[in-house]
């Protein structure tokens, strides 16, 4: 092995000495040879091609070194922009700023949903509490040098959840066996009536079934019974199941259309492509802060959820976040559980 490496280094050194200096890198081509007739020939050809690609920098025919550096800088910037898209959305949503330009001036609390055949405000479905309460305020003293006067007054209040996790589901999708129990686990730990929630604000999980996509024959009522009997979903008031809802096309539910358009994938795609895509929403502002692909396990969202419940900045996405989205894109092209316009969902 040592002698082979020495031989290669001598050959390369000799070739470099005999090569006249060039002002600009040139493109080398391998001369045509006789047809490959054996694995050994194939290996040799691959070795030569690999050696040339390693020795020569990635220049186009008409590129200068400065242009190559600029091109690579642009590519790196584009990648950085893609990776940072979700973080920018998260920063806007979690801070409560930018409602005029992020979300089109709306929040998720501006929409109604269907539950048990009735239209209810989403705010009611996720447990927003409104009312009046008596508070004590201090009025200025009635005379100079006097004591402030305590006055009891009534004021309006609204208590919102700290975070909302919205997921489009299919009960017959094999991923349901993994996702729904983990969603229940999160709601059990951080829900409104949980003794284990260390944060002042609760989490509400909202599942959105649909007739679109992979065929699921159950009615909304039967589906509600099934997920309750098989998983216990819906027993905890922090687990909400909507009636079947259109999530795509011209007949899409306004809330889903707004949510998909507001919180896009890292690649900029709005529409849902697969079951069990997840949207994490800041309950204080009603704005989405991050979107997760189909196979991103709900339990891995725990750190993001905790940051919203504690009113802390959202942490960076996990290391496999972009790779999971790339896998989802590939899966959407071949999976029977993908939404495919004209095949398993239509405009209405």
3-state secondary structure 100-163: CCCCCCCCHHHCEEEECCEEEEHHHHCCCEEEEEEEEEEECCCCCCCCCEEEEEEEEEEECCCE
Quote the pTM value: 0.70
Single out the residue of 153, 212, 220, 208 nearest to residue 179, CA to CA. 208
In which region does residue 171 sit, left (phi positive, over 0), alpha (psi from -120 to 50) or beta (all else)?
alpha
- pLDDT 10s digit of each residue in the chain, 348 long? 444 444 445 444 454 444 444 444 444 443 344 443 433 343 333 333 333 333 344 455 577 878 888 888 887 776 666 555 555 555 444 444 444 467 788 999 999 999 999 999 999 999 999 888 887 777 777 777 777 778 888 888 889 999 999 999 999 899 999 999 999 999 999 998 778 888 888 999 999 999 999 888 899 999 999 999 999 999 999 999 999 999 999 999 999 999 999 999 988 899 999 999 999 999 999 999 999 999 999 999 999 999 999 988 888 888 889 999 999 999 999 998 899 998 888 887
Count other C-beta atoms under 10 Å from residue 86's C-beta.
24
* Interatomic CA distance for residues 240 and 165, integer angstroms: 10
Show the CA angle centred on residue 271, arms to residues 267 and 274, nearest 5°.
90
* Interatomic CA distance for residues 342 and 346, integer angstroms: 5
Q: What are phi and psi of 19, to 5 degrees?
A: -95, 125
Q: How crowded is the C-beta side of 153, counted as CA atoms within 13 Å?
A: 9
Where do the domains of the chain lie? Answer: 128-159, 161-334
Domain spanning 161-334 has what CATH number?
Answer: 3.40.30.10
* Interatomic CA distance for residues 170 and 276, integer angstroms: 8
Contact at 8 Å (CB) between 163 and 126?
no
Q: What pLDDT sits at residue 63?
A: 74
Contact at 8 Å (CB) between 189 and 301?
no
Tokens of 32: 């045509």
Packing angle between helix 220-231 and helix 176-190, nearest 10 degrees?
A: 70
Task: Express the helix, strand and coil content of the chain in percent, nearest 5 each.
Answer: 40, 20, 45
Contact at 8 Å (CB) between 163 and 282?
yes
Single out the residue of 335, 337, 348 nearest to residue 246, CA to CA. 348
Q: What pLDDT sits at residue 261?
A: 92
Q: How crowded is the C-beta side of 271, counted as CA atoms within 13 Å?
A: 15
Round the CA-based radius of gyration of the chain to a whole number and report it.
Answer: 29
């Amino acid at each position: 092995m040592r002698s082979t490496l020495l031989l290669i280094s001598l050959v390369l050194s000799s070739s470099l000495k005999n090569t006249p200096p060039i002002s600009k890198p040139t493109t080398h081509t391998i001369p045509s040879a006789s047809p490959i007739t054996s694995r050994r020939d194939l290996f040799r050809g691959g070795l030569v091609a690999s050696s040339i690609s390693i020795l020569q920098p990635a220049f186009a025919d008409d590129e200068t070194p400065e242009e190559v550096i600029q091109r690579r800088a642009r590519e790196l910037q584009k990648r950085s922009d893609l990776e940072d898209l979700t973080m920018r959305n998260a920063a806007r949503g979690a801070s409560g700023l930018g409602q005029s330009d992020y979300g089109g001036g709306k929040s998720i609390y501006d929409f109604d949903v269907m539950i048990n055949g009735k239209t209810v405000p989403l705010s009611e479905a996720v447990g927003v509490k409104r009312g009046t309460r008596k508070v004590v305020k201090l009025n200025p003293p009635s005379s100079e040098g006097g004591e402030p006067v305590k006055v009891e007054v009534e004021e309006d209040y609204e208590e919102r959840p700290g975070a909302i996790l919205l997921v489009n589901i299919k009960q017959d999708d094999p991923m349901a066996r993994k996702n729904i129990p983990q969603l229940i686990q999160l709601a059990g730990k951080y829900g409104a009536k949980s003794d284990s929630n260390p944060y002042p604000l609760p989490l509400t999980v909202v599942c959105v079934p649909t007739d679109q996509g992979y065929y699921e024959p159950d009615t909304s009522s039967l589906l509600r019974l099934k997920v309750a009997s098989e998983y216990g979903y819906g027993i905890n008031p922090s687990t909400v199941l909507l009636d079947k809802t259109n999530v795509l096309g011209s007949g899409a539910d306004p809330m889903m259309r707004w949510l998909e358009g507001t919180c896009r994938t890292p690649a900029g795609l709005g529409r849902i492509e697969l079951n069990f895509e997840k949207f994490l929403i800041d309950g204080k502002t009603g704005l989405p802060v991050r979107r997760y692909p189909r196979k991103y396990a709900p339990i891995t969202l725990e750190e993001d959820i905790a940051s919203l419940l504690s009113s802390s900045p959202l942490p960076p996405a996990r290391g496999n976040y972009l790779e999971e989205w790339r896998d989802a894109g590939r899966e959407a092209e071949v999976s029977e559980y993908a939404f495919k316009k004209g095949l398993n969902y239509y405009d209405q």
